Chains A and B, each alone.
Chain A
Amino acid sequence: GDSVTQMEGPVTLSEEAFLTINCTYTATGYPSLFWYVQYPGEGLQLLLKATKADDKGSNKGFEATYRKETTSFHLEKGSVQVSDSAVYFCALSDQSVRTDKLIFGTGTRLQVFP
Chain B
Amino acid sequence: GAVVSQHPSRVICKSGTSVKIECRSLDFQATTMFWYRQFPKKSLMLMATSNEGSKATYEQGVEKDKFLINHASLTLSTLTVTSAHPEDSSFYICSASLQEGYTFGSGTRLTVV
| Dominant SS among interface residues on chain A | strand
Indicate if A16 sits at the interface (CB-CB under 8 A). Answer: no
List B contacts of A49 (CB < 8 A).
Answer: 101
What is the number of residues of chain B that contact chain A, defined by CB distance less than 8 Å?
Answer: 19
Please tell me if A89 contacts chain B, counting CB pairs below 8 Å.
yes
Q: Looking at chain B's contact residues, is the secondary structure mostly helix, strand, loop, or mixed?
A: strand
Q: Determine how close the nearest CB of chain B comes to the CB of A106; give it in whole angstroms.
A: 4
Cβ of A43 and Cβ of B49 under 8 Å apart? Answer: no
Assess whether A31 is interfacial by the CB under 8 Å rule.
no
User: C-beta contact mask, B34-54 vs A, less than 8 Å → 1, else 0?
Assistant: 100000011110100100000
- Report B-chain residues with C-beta under 8 Å of the C-beta of A104: 43-44
A44 vs B102: C-alpha distance in the bound complex, in angstroms?
A: 10
Taking CB atoms, residues of chain B closer than 8 Å to A43 are 6, 93, 104-107
A26 interfacial contact with B, CB 8 Å = no
Tell whether A101 is near chain B: CB-to-CB under 8 Å. Answer: yes
In the complex, per-residue mask of B61-89: 1 if CB is within 8 Å of any chain A CB, else 0: 00000000000000000000000000000
Interface residues of B in 6-42 (CB under 8 A from A): 6, 32, 34, 41-42
Chain B residues contacting A36 (CB-CB under 8 Å) are: 104
